[in-house]
């Protein structure tokens, strides 16, 4: 191997090494440029997503504020409904009190005690009627049934025409036609 060949091999080796170095440098520059573009795109995408995130946070805050406002409104409406319910109960109480007072004042109203007394009187009256029926049957045996029916019919008609039919639920001496007896209580 002579020196010319040796120099040629060294020059070729330097050229190959230089070509490799140049290729690596150019490749790195392209890769760097590509990475810069990719980084720019990622930053733009991140900015867009950040804007979307800010909008989502703003919407979330608005929704939360609306929820709080709705809750405040619901509480206000509950309080208002409670006030209305209290007013309704008070009005109902006043109505009941007025009705009780009217019942106390009205002589025609029958209380529970009056109904019990009327029921006792009704039982007594029924027993008296049964006793009268029994004695009347004894008398009727002697007379014809037709004759007694003829006598009773005009009496009933006359009593009905005169309006003297009494209410079975007599209270304080009053009768159904609103007439009063002496000694009745004043209203």
Domain boundaries, the chain: 113-160
Average pLDDT score over residue span 32-50:
95
Q: Name the pLDDT band for 172 (thresholds 50, 70, 90).
A: very low
Average pLDDT score over residue span 169-181:
46
Q: Which of 17-31, 60-74, 115-129, 162-176 has the lowest mean pLDDT?
A: 162-176
pLDDT exceeds 60 at position 140: no
pLDDT exceeds 80 at position 80: yes
Distance CA 88, CA 96 (A): 12
pLDDT exceeds 80 at position 137: no
Q: Name the pLDDT band for 36 (thresholds 50, 70, 90).
A: very high
pLDDT exceeds 90 at position 56: yes
Distance CA 109, CA 88 (A): 27
Q: Which residues contact 120 (CB under 8 A, 6 or more apart)?
A: none
> Regarding predicted confidence, which is higher, 131 or 139?
131
CA 172 → CA 62, 98, 105, distances in Å? Answer: 74, 23, 13
Average pLDDT score over residue span 77-84:
96
pLDDT of residue 1: 66
pLDDT of residue 3: 87
Relative orientation angle of helices 112-142 and 145-162, to the nearest 10 degrees: 140
What does pLDDT average to over the chain?
76
Distance CA 108, CA 172 (A): 9
Chain-centre distance of CA 84, in angstroms? 13
């Amino acid at each position: 191997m002579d020196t010319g060949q040796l120099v040629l091999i060294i020059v070729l080796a330097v050229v190959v090494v230089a070509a490799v170095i140049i290729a690596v440098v150019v490749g790195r520059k392209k890769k760097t440029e590509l990475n810069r573009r990719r980084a720019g795109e990622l930053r733009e995408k991140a900015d867009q997503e950040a804007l979307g995130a800010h909008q989502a946070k703003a919407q979330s805050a608005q929704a939360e504020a609306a929820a709080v406002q709705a809750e405040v409104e619901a509480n206000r409406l509950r309080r208002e409904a409670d006030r209305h319910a209290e007013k309704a109960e008070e009005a109902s109480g006043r109505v009941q009190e007025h009705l009780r007072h009217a019942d106390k004042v009205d002589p025609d109203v029958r209380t529970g005690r009056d109904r019990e007394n009327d029921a006792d009187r009704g039982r007594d009256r029924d027993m008296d009627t049964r006793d009268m029926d029994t004695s009347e049957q004894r008398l009727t045996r002697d007379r014809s049934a037709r004759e007694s029916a003829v006598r009773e019919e005009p009496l009933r008609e006359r009593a009905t025409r005169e309006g003297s039919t009494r209410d079975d639920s007599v209270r304080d001496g009053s009768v159904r036609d609103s007439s009063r007896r002496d000694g009745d209580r004043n209203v």
